[in-house]
Amino acid sequence: MIGGILSLILRRNPVACKWIALLAVLADFIMMAVYWIINYDNISVLKEGAWIADIKKEWIPQWGASFHFAMDGLSLIMVVLTLFLGVVAVLVTWKKTIERVGFFYLNILWLLAGVLGVFLSLDLFLFYFFWELMLIPMFFIISIWGHEKRNPAAVKFFLFTQGGGVLMLIAILALYFIHGRATGDYTFDYFELLGTQVSPKVALWLMLGFLAAFVVKLPVFPFHSWLPDAYTESPTSGTIILAGLLSKTAAYGMLRFILPLFPAAAQEIAPYAVIVGVVSILYGAKLAFAQTNLKRLVAFTSMSHMGFIIVGIFSFTTLAYQGVVLEMVAHGITIGALFVIAGAINDRIHTLDMDKMGGFWSQIPVMGGITTVFVLASLGLPSLGNFVAEFLILSGTFQTYTALAVLASLGLIASMIYSLVILQRIFHGRERSQLKITDFSLREKMIMGSLIIVIFWIGLFPQTIFNTVKPPVGILKTHTVFLQKDNNDSAIELNKDIATGWWGHQPMLQSGNKTMKVFPAFTFDYTQINKKAK
């Protein structure tokens, strides 16, 4: 954020702008990554529901709103991912000449700040503030630096997400007043609101308010209409952030707010949510298959993969929750990489129409090889990150909703088909045009190389991430009644639990609210977060 303001001041000097942007994001990234590595041993042994860091400052005491930031393993992972993709997003525009370069980087940095704020806020008012903060720079990025049809795309994006956001605001306010009236303590604080007693019917409506914002952002069928336009028209770095990060804020919101605040209501709508998720997977894949514009195609694959996230969240198993977190990371990396590739191709031949491509392998073997890796990641090849994530999600879902999990698995066949379309139409086959295209530069190779290392790392050694998010994911289990015994060493014993309900749906939790405990906040020696708040 500081960097953003600086780059506005220095807008007359484009070189300085991009260096400031890069340094701001990179410094933050290194800080968080180092923090993660140093404290990894502590984090992975934390108790369930423990927080790594917790900072609270008065903001608007009259309303009960405060600067309440806190971080647990889930936030930490998302923050690191945000900053990593942030670096990528800054670097892909490195060599491009951009109009109003200072304002561009200002928007990028504000956008990242908004995303980080969303991942760290524990005050609902503050959360909403950051949620909206993401929207405006994104709108500018699309409408100023986008491609030909940028204006309708930007307006559409704005209307859809704003519509969802307003519903969430209403729900937040309603929750605020209900809690205030019941306890006399008017506050937006997450921990205070967790214990709110709400009648099941009201809880359902409140939850739907939150859900509205999240399903639009994710997006899920049938709220995906803004997605292809916004993803396609936005410039590359915007698309990376949009697809890689903004959709993750929605998934994060569900994990952080919907499940803990309204566990019973979430259980109630779970079957519908899973059905919607399955429809998203299959319908998104089908639309992706039909596209000839490369970016549109990748945009729809994103929708298809987001379906897995919603399926996983509403299946209420630890396997699936861990899978969801990993899918968020893996998908962020994969989709980011695919959009970098799409952007690189567009920069070189000024078209995204795949009918004009073909047989590029002989000209650009490096790009071909790298694309192959990410196409394979996207179709779920084992040893790459997405496979572990999707396996866990489907495997967890299978325990709750057998038939729907089977349907969702069909998405794997579909993902294979559209992924091969990407690879083969661009790089294989005869050369359909006389287009000359140059291979990746060293800078691009380095970007892609680091993305490849990460995708293999989370595919082969995902345990680091699982350990980090174990405390927050573990606590989700106490919010919602779990159907599967956790940490069960004896396989046979596990089986007894499940064998009773196989093939049908597991008995669901009866409605009615559980009273939530307020969790003791653990405070570590941690100062960096202050800087980000400013």
- Least distance from C-beta 291 to another protein, angstroms? 7
Give the one residue of 61, 97, 436, 491 binding another protein; rule: CB under 8 A: 491
The residue type of 421 is: V
Q: Which of 330, 205, 327 is nearest to 277 (CA)?
A: 327
Q: Which is nearer to another protein, 67 or 223 (CB)?
A: 223
Q: Which of 234, 40, 218 is nearest to 153 (CA)?
A: 234
Q: Which of 138, 93, 94, 77 is nearest to 112 (CA)?
A: 138
Q: What part of residues 305-324 is at the interface with another protein (CB under 8 A)?
A: 317-319, 322-323
Q: What part of residues 358-377 is at the interface with another protein (CB under 8 A)?
A: 359, 361-362, 365, 369, 376
Q: Say how many Å lie between the first and final Cα of the chain, rounded.
A: 8
- Least distance from C-beta 108 to another protein, angstroms? 29
Which residues, 6 or more positions from 231, have their beta carbon under 8 angstroms from its beta carbon?
239, 242, 243, 295, 296, 298, 299, 302, 339
CA distance linking residue 361 with residue 452, whole number of Å: 19
Cα Rg of the chain, angstroms? 22
Q: Which is nearer to another protein, 199 or 424 (CB)?
A: 424
Alpha helices in 379-516 (DSSP H): 385-400, 402-427, 442-460, 463-479, 491-499
Which residues, 6 or more positions from 203, have their beta carbon under 8 angstroms from its beta carbon?
262, 264, 265, 513
Site string for another protein, 240-279 (x = CB under 8 A): ----------------------------------------
Which residue stretch of 85-93, 344-352, 420-428, 435-443 sits at the interface with another protein (rule: CB under 8 A)?
Answer: 420-428
Which residue stretch of 23-31, 55-63, 138-146, 459-467 sits at the interface with another protein (rule: CB under 8 A)?
Answer: 459-467
378 lines the binding site for another protein (CB under 8 A): no
CA distance linking residue 96 with residue 85, whole number of Å: 18
420 lines the binding site for another protein (CB under 8 A): yes
479 lines the binding site for another protein (CB under 8 A): no
176 lines the binding site for another protein (CB under 8 A): no
**How far, CA to CA in Å, does 398 sit from each of 393, 401, 402, 505?**
8, 5, 4, 10
Q: Show the tokens assigned to 167.
A: 């519903």
- Least distance from C-beta 222 to another protein, angstroms? 5
Q: Which is nearer to another protein, 66 or 415 (CB)?
A: 415
CA distance linking residue 203 with residue 225, whole number of Å: 28
128 lines the binding site for another protein (CB under 8 A): no
DSSP count for the chain of H helices, then E strands: 22, 2
- Least distance from C-beta 475 to another protein, angstroms? 14
- Least distance from C-beta 289 to another protein, angstroms? 5
Q: Which residues bind another protein (CB under 8 A)?
A: 221-222, 224-225, 228, 286-287, 289-291, 317-319, 322-323, 359, 361-362, 365, 369, 376, 381-383, 387-388, 391-392, 394-395, 398-399, 405-406, 409-410, 412-413, 416-417, 420, 424, 427-431, 460-463, 466, 484, 486-492, 494-495, 498-499, 502-503
